[in-house]
Amino acid sequence: MRNDIERVLIDEVVIEKRLDAMALEIERDFPSGTLVVIILLKGALVFAADLLRRVPRSLEIECINVASYHGGLESSGTVNFLDRDFPEVSGRHVLLLDDILDTGRTLHAVSARLIEEGATAVHTAVLLAKDKQRAQEVSADYVGFEIRDEFVVGYGLDYKGKYRNLPYVGVLKDSAIT
């Protein structure tokens, strides 16, 4: 698996330090009381597990499945909700977690759905944000790292379902892309 990586973009130690700071910001910014956190599966799984254990507050954790990349290299342009049920968010403060902000379609669509479902406020946190023009006007309230517009894997992010368990964010070798 590691042989497929061309270069490491953000190593584990750097990610962990950044998560310490993000957790402090989140703890400081949110009004007291229980916060509902929604994790976008599967990409935000690793980021969420490491971030949320650093937030010293009462949290309710929910997960939702959406698909836009279908395991390849390009966003398909549509966001599909894959679950039969949607978390109960009416009257709640929600923190939405995703792995990466790319075209913006995912965060836009999921935030809109959360508001539609009656959430009082929706804030968003992403591990990575690509420096590019977005298809949807959307920004994240908390961004771990800004990266240039290239395809990355690791720390939750996949290529064809693999590489999510790499402890760092990296770029694949051309030979690993089929």
Q: Does 43 bind Mg ion (CB under 5 A)?
A: yes
Q: Is 158 in the site for ligand 5GP (CB under 6 A)?
A: yes
Q: How far is the CB of 16 from ligand 5GP (least distance, A)?
A: 20
The yes or no reply on residue 97 touching ligand 5GP (CB under 6 A) is: no
Is 144 a binder of ligand 5GP (CB under 6 A)? no
154 binds Mg ion (CB under 5 A): no
Instruction: Name the minimum Å distance from CB 27 to ligand 5GP.
Output: 24
For residues 3 to 42, the per-residue mask of contacts with ligand 5GP, x marking binding by CB under 6 A and - elsewhere, is: ----------------------------------------
Of the candidate residues 105, 124, 140, 143, the single one contacting ligand 5GP (CB under 6 A): 105
Site membership for ligand 5GP, residue 120 (CB under 6 A): no
Distance CA 120, CA 26 (A): 17
DSSP per-residue codes, the chain? -GGGEEEEEE-HHHHHHHHHHHHHHHHHHSPSS-EEEEEEETTTHHHHHHHHTT--S-EEEEEEEEESSTTSSS--S--EE--SS----TT-EEEEEEEEESSSHHHHHHHHHHHHTT-SEEEEEEEEEESS--SS----SEEEEEE-SS--BBTTB-BTTB-TT-SSEEEE-GGG--
How many chain residues interact with ligand 5GP (CB under 6 A)? 19
Q: Does 75 sit near ligand 5GP (CB under 6 A)?
A: yes
Nearest CA among 70, 68, 71 for reference residue 103: 68
Binding site for ligand 5GP (CB under 6 A): 43, 68-69, 75, 98-106, 151-153, 157-159
